[in-house]
Structure 1
Amino acid sequence: MKKSLGPKTLAQPAPVWAVGAYDEDNKPNAMIAAWGGICSSDPASLTVSLRPSRHTYAGIMKHKAFTVSVCPEYLAAESDFLGMVSGKKVDKFAATGLTPTKSDCVNAPYIEEFPMVIECELTGTYEQGIHTLLIGEIKDVKCDEDKLVDGKHPDPEKILPLIFSPGTRAYHTVSKFVGQGFSIGKKYIKK
Protein backbone atom coordinates (compact mmCIF):
# COMPACT_ATOMS: atom_id res chain seq x y z
CA MET A 1 0.00 0.00 0.00
CA LYS A 2 1.30 3.43 -0.93
CA LYS A 3 1.31 6.22 1.67
CA SER A 4 0.36 9.76 0.63
CA LEU A 5 3.21 12.18 1.35
CA GLY A 6 1.44 15.34 0.17
CA PRO A 7 2.55 17.96 -2.35
CA LYS A 8 6.31 17.98 -1.78
CA THR A 9 9.43 18.25 -3.94
CA LEU A 10 10.21 14.55 -3.67
CA ALA A 11 10.86 13.71 -7.33
CA GLN A 12 13.59 11.06 -7.38
CA PRO A 13 16.38 11.62 -8.13
CA ALA A 14 17.40 15.23 -8.63
CA PRO A 15 20.72 16.14 -10.27
CA VAL A 16 23.53 17.77 -8.33
CA TRP A 17 24.75 20.47 -10.66
CA ALA A 18 27.27 23.21 -10.06
CA VAL A 19 25.84 26.22 -11.87
CA GLY A 20 28.66 28.55 -12.85
CA ALA A 21 28.52 32.23 -13.73
CA TYR A 22 30.59 35.35 -13.47
CA ASP A 23 29.11 37.60 -10.83
CA GLU A 24 28.28 41.26 -11.37
CA ASP A 25 31.95 42.12 -10.73
CA ASN A 26 33.10 39.45 -13.25
CA LYS A 27 34.40 37.15 -10.50
CA PRO A 28 33.86 33.40 -11.13
CA ASN A 29 31.26 31.80 -8.90
CA ALA A 30 29.37 28.51 -8.72
CA MET A 31 26.45 27.22 -6.68
CA ILE A 32 24.76 23.86 -6.32
CA ALA A 33 21.31 23.39 -7.83
CA ALA A 34 19.19 20.28 -7.79
CA TRP A 35 16.09 21.56 -9.59
CA GLY A 36 16.96 21.05 -13.23
CA GLY A 37 16.81 18.91 -16.34
CA ILE A 38 16.55 18.78 -20.12
CA CYS A 39 13.62 20.83 -21.45
CA SER A 40 14.05 20.68 -25.25
CA SER A 41 15.73 18.51 -27.85
CA ASP A 42 15.67 21.12 -30.61
CA PRO A 43 17.19 23.46 -29.81
CA ALA A 44 19.09 21.42 -27.24
CA SER A 45 18.22 23.15 -23.97
CA LEU A 46 18.08 22.60 -20.25
CA THR A 47 16.46 24.35 -17.36
CA VAL A 48 17.69 25.05 -13.87
CA SER A 49 15.64 26.73 -11.15
CA LEU A 50 17.24 29.32 -8.88
CA ARG A 51 15.93 31.75 -6.34
CA PRO A 52 16.46 35.34 -7.51
CA SER A 53 18.03 36.13 -4.12
CA ARG A 54 21.02 33.90 -4.90
CA HIS A 55 24.32 35.59 -5.76
CA THR A 56 24.74 33.44 -8.89
CA TYR A 57 21.37 34.53 -10.25
CA ALA A 58 22.40 38.18 -10.67
CA GLY A 59 25.52 37.15 -12.59
CA ILE A 60 23.53 34.95 -14.94
CA MET A 61 21.09 37.78 -15.61
CA LYS A 62 23.95 40.21 -16.32
CA HIS A 63 26.00 37.93 -18.59
CA LYS A 64 23.09 35.95 -20.15
CA ALA A 65 25.08 32.73 -19.76
CA PHE A 66 25.82 29.92 -17.33
CA THR A 67 27.46 26.54 -17.18
CA VAL A 68 26.44 23.30 -15.53
CA SER A 69 29.31 21.24 -14.16
CA VAL A 70 28.11 17.73 -13.30
CA CYS A 71 29.21 17.02 -9.75
CA PRO A 72 31.03 13.68 -9.40
CA GLU A 73 30.89 11.37 -6.39
CA TYR A 74 34.62 11.77 -5.72
CA LEU A 75 34.18 15.55 -5.24
CA ALA A 76 31.04 15.32 -3.08
CA ALA A 77 32.38 17.42 -0.19
CA GLU A 78 33.55 20.21 -2.51
CA SER A 79 30.20 20.09 -4.32
CA ASP A 80 28.23 20.27 -1.09
CA PHE A 81 30.29 23.26 0.06
CA LEU A 82 29.34 25.17 -3.10
CA GLY A 83 25.74 25.11 -1.86
CA MET A 84 26.49 25.96 1.76
CA VAL A 85 27.98 29.46 1.48
CA SER A 86 27.34 32.54 -0.63
CA GLY A 87 29.77 33.70 -3.28
CA LYS A 88 29.09 37.23 -1.99
CA LYS A 89 31.10 36.42 1.12
CA VAL A 90 33.40 33.54 0.17
CA ASP A 91 35.62 32.77 -2.82
CA LYS A 92 34.38 29.20 -3.24
CA PHE A 93 37.15 28.30 -5.68
CA ALA A 94 39.90 29.41 -3.31
CA ALA A 95 38.24 27.64 -0.38
CA THR A 96 37.90 24.28 -2.18
CA GLY A 97 40.94 24.35 -4.47
CA LEU A 98 38.66 23.88 -7.48
CA THR A 99 39.64 25.66 -10.71
CA PRO A 100 37.37 28.07 -12.58
CA THR A 101 37.87 27.72 -16.33
CA LYS A 102 36.52 30.25 -18.81
CA SER A 103 34.14 28.70 -21.30
CA ASP A 104 35.10 29.14 -24.92
CA CYS A 105 31.40 29.14 -25.93
CA VAL A 106 29.61 31.37 -23.43
CA ASN A 107 30.55 34.11 -20.97
CA ALA A 108 30.63 31.88 -17.87
CA PRO A 109 33.12 29.71 -15.98
CA TYR A 110 32.97 25.97 -15.40
CA ILE A 111 34.77 23.76 -12.90
CA GLU A 112 37.82 22.14 -14.47
CA GLU A 113 37.97 19.17 -12.09
CA PHE A 114 34.38 18.09 -12.78
CA PRO A 115 34.29 15.49 -15.58
CA MET A 116 31.33 16.84 -17.56
CA VAL A 117 30.32 20.41 -18.38
CA ILE A 118 27.35 21.88 -20.23
CA GLU A 119 27.76 25.43 -21.54
CA CYS A 120 24.53 27.42 -21.92
CA GLU A 121 23.33 30.71 -23.29
CA LEU A 122 20.38 32.08 -21.31
CA THR A 123 17.41 32.14 -23.69
CA GLY A 124 14.45 32.51 -21.36
CA THR A 125 13.08 32.68 -17.84
CA TYR A 126 9.85 31.67 -16.19
CA GLU A 127 8.82 32.58 -12.66
CA GLN A 128 7.26 29.80 -10.61
CA GLY A 129 6.68 30.50 -6.94
CA ILE A 130 9.93 31.35 -5.16
CA HIS A 131 12.10 30.15 -8.06
CA THR A 132 12.87 31.34 -11.55
CA LEU A 133 13.39 28.68 -14.18
CA LEU A 134 16.36 29.64 -16.31
CA ILE A 135 16.29 28.18 -19.79
CA GLY A 136 19.71 27.65 -21.29
CA GLU A 137 20.35 26.71 -24.90
CA ILE A 138 23.19 24.22 -24.85
CA LYS A 139 26.09 25.57 -26.88
CA ASP A 140 28.52 22.75 -26.06
CA VAL A 141 28.98 19.71 -23.85
CA LYS A 142 32.50 18.87 -22.74
CA CYS A 143 33.49 15.59 -21.11
CA ASP A 144 36.77 14.07 -19.99
CA GLU A 145 37.78 11.60 -22.70
CA ASP A 146 38.32 8.77 -20.23
CA LYS A 147 34.67 9.14 -19.14
CA LEU A 148 33.19 8.48 -22.59
CA VAL A 149 31.66 5.37 -24.15
CA ASP A 150 32.69 4.86 -27.78
CA GLY A 151 34.51 8.20 -27.63
CA LYS A 152 31.25 10.18 -27.92
CA HIS A 153 28.79 9.53 -25.07
CA PRO A 154 29.27 10.34 -21.37
CA ASP A 155 29.28 7.15 -19.26
CA PRO A 156 27.44 7.59 -15.94
CA GLU A 157 29.33 4.66 -14.41
CA LYS A 158 32.61 6.50 -15.08
CA ILE A 159 31.40 10.02 -14.28
CA LEU A 160 29.64 8.84 -11.10
CA PRO A 161 27.31 11.86 -11.02
CA LEU A 162 25.92 12.80 -7.65
CA ILE A 163 22.17 12.63 -7.34
CA PHE A 164 20.14 14.23 -4.59
CA SER A 165 17.26 12.83 -2.57
CA PRO A 166 15.27 15.95 -1.63
CA GLY A 167 13.34 14.46 1.29
CA THR A 168 16.33 13.09 3.18
CA ARG A 169 18.72 15.73 1.79
CA ALA A 170 21.15 12.90 1.01
CA TYR A 171 23.59 12.44 -1.85
CA HIS A 172 23.84 9.19 -3.79
CA THR A 173 25.38 8.16 -7.09
CA VAL A 174 24.48 5.82 -9.95
CA SER A 175 24.85 2.10 -9.49
CA LYS A 176 24.89 -0.24 -12.45
CA PHE A 177 23.81 -0.73 -16.04
CA VAL A 178 20.28 -2.17 -16.21
CA GLY A 179 19.54 -2.43 -19.93
CA GLN A 180 19.49 -0.58 -23.22
CA GLY A 181 16.78 2.08 -23.59
CA PHE A 182 14.18 1.60 -26.31
CA SER A 183 15.23 -2.06 -26.37
CA ILE A 184 14.57 -3.94 -23.12
CA GLY A 185 10.85 -3.23 -23.37
CA LYS A 186 10.52 -4.72 -26.87
CA LYS A 187 9.26 -7.97 -25.41
CA TYR A 188 5.91 -6.22 -24.81
CA ILE A 189 5.50 -5.07 -28.43
CA LYS A 190 3.03 -7.32 -30.21
CA LYS A 191 4.25 -8.71 -33.48
Structure 2
Amino acid sequence: MKKSLGPNTLAQPTPVWAVGSYDEDGKPDAMIAAWGGICGSDPACLTVSVRPTRHTYAGILKHKAFTVSVSSVAVAAEADYLGMVSGDKVDKFAVTGLTPVKGEFVDAPYIEEFPLVIECELRETVDLNAHVMFVGEIRDVKCDEDKLADGKYPDPEKVLPLIFSPGTRVYHTVGQKVGKGFDMGRKYIKKD
Protein backbone atom coordinates (compact mmCIF):
# COMPACT_ATOMS: atom_id res chain seq x y z
CA MET A 1 0.00 0.00 0.00
CA LYS A 2 1.27 3.47 -0.86
CA LYS A 3 1.25 6.25 1.75
CA SER A 4 0.24 9.77 0.69
CA LEU A 5 2.99 12.29 1.40
CA GLY A 6 1.02 15.31 0.18
CA PRO A 7 2.17 17.95 -2.28
CA ASN A 8 5.94 18.15 -1.85
CA THR A 9 9.24 18.31 -3.75
CA LEU A 10 9.97 14.61 -3.39
CA ALA A 11 10.56 13.58 -7.02
CA GLN A 12 13.46 11.14 -7.28
CA PRO A 13 16.20 11.88 -8.13
CA THR A 14 17.06 15.54 -8.51
CA PRO A 15 20.35 16.70 -10.02
CA VAL A 16 23.22 18.39 -8.23
CA TRP A 17 24.00 21.10 -10.75
CA ALA A 18 26.37 24.01 -10.24
CA VAL A 19 24.70 26.91 -12.01
CA GLY A 20 27.42 29.31 -13.11
CA SER A 21 27.09 32.98 -13.96
CA TYR A 22 29.06 36.18 -13.74
CA ASP A 23 27.60 38.42 -11.08
CA GLU A 24 26.61 42.01 -11.75
CA ASP A 25 30.25 43.09 -11.24
CA GLY A 26 31.60 40.40 -13.60
CA LYS A 27 32.91 38.08 -10.86
CA PRO A 28 32.47 34.30 -11.45
CA ASP A 29 29.82 32.74 -9.23
CA ALA A 30 28.20 29.32 -8.93
CA MET A 31 25.38 27.93 -6.83
CA ILE A 32 23.95 24.44 -6.49
CA ALA A 33 20.46 23.86 -7.87
CA ALA A 34 18.51 20.65 -7.58
CA TRP A 35 15.40 21.94 -9.35
CA GLY A 36 16.24 21.39 -13.00
CA GLY A 37 16.11 19.14 -16.01
CA ILE A 38 15.89 18.83 -19.78
CA CYS A 39 12.75 20.53 -21.09
CA GLY A 40 13.05 20.43 -24.89
CA SER A 41 14.96 18.85 -27.74
CA ASP A 42 14.47 21.11 -30.76
CA PRO A 43 16.08 23.41 -29.83
CA ALA A 44 17.83 21.58 -27.01
CA CYS A 45 16.87 23.31 -23.75
CA LEU A 46 17.07 22.78 -20.02
CA THR A 47 15.64 24.50 -16.98
CA VAL A 48 16.97 25.51 -13.60
CA SER A 49 14.89 27.19 -10.92
CA VAL A 50 16.51 29.88 -8.78
CA ARG A 51 15.13 32.03 -5.99
CA PRO A 52 15.27 35.75 -6.86
CA THR A 53 17.08 36.35 -3.54
CA ARG A 54 20.08 34.27 -4.64
CA HIS A 55 23.23 36.08 -5.73
CA THR A 56 23.36 34.06 -8.98
CA TYR A 57 19.90 35.23 -10.04
CA ALA A 58 20.81 38.83 -10.97
CA GLY A 59 23.90 37.69 -12.85
CA ILE A 60 21.91 35.34 -15.06
CA LEU A 61 19.45 38.11 -15.91
CA LYS A 62 22.20 40.65 -16.62
CA HIS A 63 24.34 38.39 -18.82
CA LYS A 64 21.44 36.41 -20.38
CA ALA A 65 23.41 33.22 -19.90
CA PHE A 66 24.32 30.49 -17.43
CA THR A 67 26.17 27.21 -17.35
CA VAL A 68 25.39 23.94 -15.65
CA SER A 69 28.42 22.06 -14.33
CA VAL A 70 27.31 18.56 -13.37
CA SER A 71 28.80 17.58 -10.05
CA SER A 72 30.42 14.20 -9.56
CA VAL A 73 31.34 12.08 -6.57
CA ALA A 74 34.94 13.36 -6.81
CA VAL A 75 33.84 16.95 -6.02
CA ALA A 76 30.90 16.21 -3.72
CA ALA A 77 32.15 18.29 -0.78
CA GLU A 78 32.93 21.26 -3.02
CA ALA A 79 29.48 21.01 -4.62
CA ASP A 80 27.79 20.85 -1.23
CA TYR A 81 29.68 23.99 -0.15
CA LEU A 82 28.52 25.87 -3.28
CA GLY A 83 24.97 25.38 -2.00
CA MET A 84 25.70 26.45 1.58
CA VAL A 85 27.06 29.99 1.20
CA SER A 86 26.29 33.05 -0.90
CA GLY A 87 28.63 34.45 -3.53
CA ASP A 88 27.90 37.97 -2.32
CA LYS A 89 29.64 37.11 0.97
CA VAL A 90 32.54 34.84 -0.09
CA ASP A 91 34.54 33.92 -3.18
CA LYS A 92 33.45 30.29 -3.49
CA PHE A 93 36.16 29.54 -6.05
CA ALA A 94 38.95 30.83 -3.79
CA VAL A 95 37.65 28.87 -0.78
CA THR A 96 37.20 25.54 -2.61
CA GLY A 97 40.09 25.77 -5.05
CA LEU A 98 37.68 25.16 -7.95
CA THR A 99 38.60 26.78 -11.26
CA PRO A 100 36.16 29.08 -13.12
CA VAL A 101 36.53 28.85 -16.91
CA LYS A 102 35.04 31.41 -19.30
CA GLY A 103 32.32 29.79 -21.38
CA GLU A 104 33.20 29.35 -25.03
CA PHE A 105 29.67 29.96 -26.35
CA VAL A 106 27.96 32.03 -23.62
CA ASP A 107 28.82 34.84 -21.22
CA ALA A 108 29.03 32.64 -18.13
CA PRO A 109 31.72 30.59 -16.36
CA TYR A 110 31.78 26.85 -15.82
CA ILE A 111 33.76 24.76 -13.34
CA GLU A 112 36.81 22.98 -14.75
CA GLU A 113 36.84 20.20 -12.13
CA PHE A 114 33.25 19.11 -12.86
CA PRO A 115 33.25 16.44 -15.61
CA LEU A 116 30.20 17.53 -17.60
CA VAL A 117 29.34 21.11 -18.56
CA ILE A 118 26.38 22.61 -20.41
CA GLU A 119 26.53 26.19 -21.73
CA CYS A 120 23.11 27.87 -21.99
CA GLU A 121 21.79 31.09 -23.41
CA LEU A 122 18.84 32.42 -21.41
CA ARG A 123 15.74 31.96 -23.55
CA GLU A 124 12.84 32.51 -21.16
CA THR A 125 11.92 33.04 -17.52
CA VAL A 126 8.85 31.70 -15.76
CA ASP A 127 7.79 33.12 -12.39
CA LEU A 128 6.85 30.28 -10.04
CA ASN A 129 6.44 32.41 -6.88
CA ALA A 130 9.32 31.30 -4.64
CA HIS A 131 11.50 30.45 -7.66
CA VAL A 132 11.99 31.71 -11.18
CA MET A 133 12.53 28.99 -13.75
CA PHE A 134 15.22 29.87 -16.26
CA VAL A 135 14.89 28.14 -19.61
CA GLY A 136 18.27 27.92 -21.25
CA GLU A 137 18.90 27.03 -24.85
CA ILE A 138 21.87 24.66 -24.88
CA ARG A 139 24.70 26.15 -26.94
CA ASP A 140 27.30 23.50 -26.15
CA VAL A 141 27.97 20.43 -24.03
CA LYS A 142 31.50 19.64 -22.88
CA CYS A 143 32.61 16.42 -21.21
CA ASP A 144 35.94 15.08 -19.98
CA GLU A 145 37.09 12.68 -22.70
CA ASP A 146 37.73 9.85 -20.23
CA LYS A 147 34.06 10.07 -19.15
CA LEU A 148 32.60 9.39 -22.61
CA ALA A 149 30.91 6.23 -23.89
CA ASP A 150 31.86 5.39 -27.48
CA GLY A 151 33.82 8.66 -27.54
CA LYS A 152 30.65 10.73 -28.00
CA TYR A 153 28.18 10.50 -25.09
CA PRO A 154 28.62 11.17 -21.35
CA ASP A 155 28.66 7.82 -19.54
CA PRO A 156 26.88 8.02 -16.16
CA GLU A 157 29.02 5.19 -14.78
CA LYS A 158 32.14 7.26 -15.55
CA VAL A 159 30.78 10.74 -14.76
CA LEU A 160 29.28 9.45 -11.49
CA PRO A 161 26.93 12.43 -11.19
CA LEU A 162 25.68 13.33 -7.77
CA ILE A 163 21.95 13.12 -7.28
CA PHE A 164 20.02 14.55 -4.36
CA SER A 165 17.16 13.15 -2.35
CA PRO A 166 15.16 16.23 -1.24
CA GLY A 167 13.29 14.50 1.59
CA THR A 168 16.29 12.96 3.33
CA ARG A 169 18.71 15.66 2.11
CA VAL A 170 21.26 13.00 1.19
CA TYR A 171 23.53 12.77 -1.86
CA HIS A 172 23.75 9.60 -3.90
CA THR A 173 25.17 8.63 -7.26
CA VAL A 174 23.97 6.42 -10.10
CA GLY A 175 23.89 2.65 -9.89
CA GLN A 176 24.42 -0.13 -12.34
CA LYS A 177 22.99 -0.42 -15.81
CA VAL A 178 19.52 -1.96 -15.94
CA GLY A 179 19.04 -2.36 -19.67
CA LYS A 180 19.01 -0.59 -23.01
CA GLY A 181 16.43 2.16 -23.53
CA PHE A 182 13.86 1.73 -26.30
CA ASP A 183 14.73 -1.97 -26.26
CA MET A 184 13.69 -3.59 -22.96
CA GLY A 185 10.00 -2.83 -23.57
CA ARG A 186 9.93 -4.39 -27.03
CA LYS A 187 8.38 -7.53 -25.58
CA TYR A 188 5.14 -5.54 -25.15
CA ILE A 189 4.97 -4.35 -28.75
CA LYS A 190 2.49 -6.43 -30.72
CA LYS A 191 3.79 -7.95 -33.88
CA ASP A 192 1.38 -7.65 -36.79
Cα distance in 2 for residues equivalent to 1:42 and 1:130: 29
Residue 68 of structure 1 and its aligned partner are, at CA, apart by 0.1
Structure 1 ranges of 4+ moved more than 6 A: none
| 1:1-191 map, 5 Å | 1-191=1-191
Cα distance in 1 for residues equivalent to 2:188 and 2:19: 40
Cα distance in 1 for residues equivalent to 2:136 and 2:190: 40
Cα distance in 1 for residues equivalent to 2:60 and 2:125: 11
Structure 1 portions without partners, runs of 5+: none
Cα distance in 2 for residues equivalent to 1:53 and 1:15: 21
Query: How far does the alpha carbon of each residue in 1:9-49 deviate from its partner, in whole angstroms, 9 at most, with x for none?
Result: 00000000000000000000000000000011001000000
* Secondary structure of the corresponding residue to residue 94 of structure 2: helix
Structure 2 portions without partners, runs of 5+: none
When normalised by structure 2's length, the TM-score is 0.99
Cα distance in 1 for residues equivalent to 2:27 and 2:40: 30
Q: Percent identity?
A: 75
Residue type at the aligned position of 1:43: P
Paired residues, what number?
Answer: 191
Residue 129 of structure 1 and its aligned partner are, at CA, apart by 2.1
* Secondary structure of the corresponding residue to residue 110 of structure 1: strand
Query: How far does the alpha carbon of each residue in 1:132-191 deviate from its partner, in whole angstroms, 9 at most, with x for none?
Result: 000000000000000001110000000000000000011000011110000011011111
CA RMSD of aligned residues (A): 0.4
Residue type at the aligned position of 1:75: V
Cα distance in 2 for residues equivalent to 1:123 and 1:54: 20
